Structures are given as structure tokens and as C-alpha cells.
Structure 1
Amino acid sequence: MIDRHLDYNNIATVVFSHPPIGTIGLTEDEANERFDKIKIYKSEFTPMADALLDHKTTTALKLVCEGDNEKVIGCHIMGHGADEMLQGFAVAIKMGATKKQFDDTVAIHPSSSEELVTMR
């Protein structure tokens, strides 16, 4: 019999609000408390559905990375599509993905999720 337990680290969480909010991993403050070397990447994107509207909404995205190899230890998204796009990034983070691996991914263009693999 296999003794398996749920790993409570890096559980994706979504608030189904307007706009939706999705988060996984450490926040910037939590990462600063635990690690000596972190790097934060931030971006904003106006979804194509809103591009021609007078009242544009933006999607805000943040990656929290740690160490010289920039292991991604946090991903936070607020805006259109955050509730749907977080799951795939949660898998990558759970598997120990690095910022370089995110960067090496060909982005779906144009999309909010593209921002997470093209942040500089």
C-alpha cells in the first residue's frame, strides 16, 4: 500500500470576483522573509476583449523568483482570465519551473498569459 499525503505547498487559490484574482506560492513579502535573493517581475496587459472600449480594464501579473536560477516560487494574477489561466502556471510552479523555462516557452499571442512567459 502506498502512503500518500496531500502536499499543501503551492495550492492555487482563486477569488471568483470581478475582476477575478488568482494566486499560488509565496507573496513578495513572504519570499523576502525566507530567502536572501529574490527577483520580482511585474506586468500589465489590456485583454483584447477590452482593447477598443472607452473603459479599459487591465490584467496585473506578478512572478516571484528565488535564487540564481530564478526558480518561480509565486505567481499572482488579477484581472480578466486570472481564474482560468492560473491552473497551468500552478502545475509549472509545483514542478519547480524556473524563469528561464517560462521564457523559453512560445507564448500564445495576443493573450494575458503571454505576459507571464515574456516578462523581462
Structure 2
Amino acid sequence: RTVSHSNVPSAVFTQPPIGSVGPGEKEARAIHGDVTVYTSKFNAMKNNLSGRSEKTFMKLIVDTASDKVVAAHMVGPDAGEIIQGIGVAVIAGATKADFDATIGIHPTAAEEFVTMRTPRD
């Protein structure tokens, strides 16, 4: 069995942290053709409660034809931890419908990945 390097989750432990699995938007379009992109930018509840203004940005890239989630990207607290779990879903071939059917753990930043419902224009 060979190792596929196409969907290796990665993290950069900077401030803010960055996490990623799968191709970027431009590469995803080259590979899959039509993709649907979901994004969210918010201030996590733990930051609101502590008075910090640190923002979080998340992006989910979905192959429109198959509904498979082909990539996820995040900038913000706990990005590495969150993307590790999302990486399993991407490699397993989870669909956007699978993400939508998942109940988010509240209050967490990770729940945003399963509550994104409106595609970016």
C-alpha cells in the first residue's frame, strides 16, 4: 500500500494558528471542476467571554457534482486540533450532507464546520 500525499492535514503553529487539509480553492477547481465554497469568519465564544478580539476564519470546499468535501482550511485558535479531525472526514470521503447531518458540539469553534449552510457568492 502506498501513501497518498494529496490530503495530508497540516498545521502551522503561528499566531494565529493555521490548519489545512486538501487543495486550495484554485487547485480544487482544476482537479474537480465546479466546486462550492463555504466560509465563515467569527469571534469564538471563548474569546467573547474573555474579552479577546481574536477572529477565526474557516473555509470548506465541496465538489459540487459529488457533494464530497475535498478540502478544509482554518485560521484561528485550535486550528491544528480541529483540522486533524476534519482530515479524517475528507480522506473518508464525507459529503457536505454528512457534515450537515452532524450535530455540532456547542460552544466550540469546530461546530462551525458542521453548521455552514450558505455557499459563498
Fold in common (TM above 0.5): yes
Detail structure 1 runs of 4+ shifted over 2 Å in the superposition. 52-55
| Alpha-carbon distance change, 5 to 35 in structure 1, aligned in 2, over 3 angstroms | closer
Residue identity opposite 2:28 in structure 1: A
Write 1 or 2 for the structure with the bigger share of helix: 2
The whole-number CA distance in structure 1 between the counterparts of 2:60 and 2:109 is: 14
Structure showing greater radius of gyration is 1
Once structures 1 and 2 are overlaid, which stretch shifts more, 48-57 or 96-105? 48-57
- Corresponding position of 1:35: 32
Unaligned runs of 5+ in 1: none
- Corresponding position of 2:75: 78
For these two proteins, the number of residue pairs brought into alignment is 117
> Offset at 1:83?
1.3
> Offset at 1:55?
4.6
Deviations 1:46-81 (A, max 9, x none): 122210455511110000000333210010000011
> Offset at 1:44?
1.6
Secondary structure at the aligned position of 2:94 is classed as: coil
- Corresponding position of 1:116: 113
Secondary structure at the aligned position of 1:94 is classed as: helix
The aligned runs of 1:84-95 (5 Å cut-off) are 84-95=81-92
- Normalization by structure 1: what TM-score? 0.90
Deviations 1:16-70 (A, max 9, x none): 1011000000111111222321100001231222104555111100000003332
The whole-number CA distance in structure 2 between the counterparts of 1:21 and 1:97 is: 22
The percentage of aligned residue pairs carrying the same residue is 39
**Are residues 1:60 and 2:21 paired?**
no
Unaligned runs of 5+ in 2: none
